[in-house]
Structure formats: C-alpha cells, structure tokens
Amino acid sequence: MLMVIAGFMLGVVCGTVLVGFMVGRSRNAEEDAVRYPTY
C-alpha cells in the first residue's frame, strides 16, 4: 500500500512538473512572437 501511495505522489509531482514546463514553453513562445512579429 505504501508503494501505491509513493507511486501516486511521484506521478502527481511528475505531472505538475510536466504541465509547468509546457506552460513555461508556451509562454516563452508567445513572448518571442510578440518580440519578433511574423507579419
């Protein structure tokens, strides 16, 4: 049972890091688009 809880916590941490990384990348991409317009 302890392993199940540990695995669940690890999954939550990995998911949070992954979402934060993707949000940070998309935010940086938007800033780059504003800095260097494509039109």
Task: Say what the pTM is.
Answer: 0.52
**What are the residue ranges of helices labelled H in 1-39?**
2-35
Report angle CA 22, 14, 2 to the nearest 5 degrees. Answer: 165
Of the candidates 6, 37, 8, 30, which has an alpha carbon nearest to the alpha carbon of residue 22?
A: 30
Higher pLDDT among residues 38 and 1, named by residue: 1
Position 33, amino acid: A
Q: What is the pLDDT of residues 3-28, one digit of tens each?
A: 999 999 999 999 999 998 888 887 77
Cα distance between residue 4 and residue 19, in whole Å: 22
Cα distance between residue 26 and residue 37, in whole Å: 16
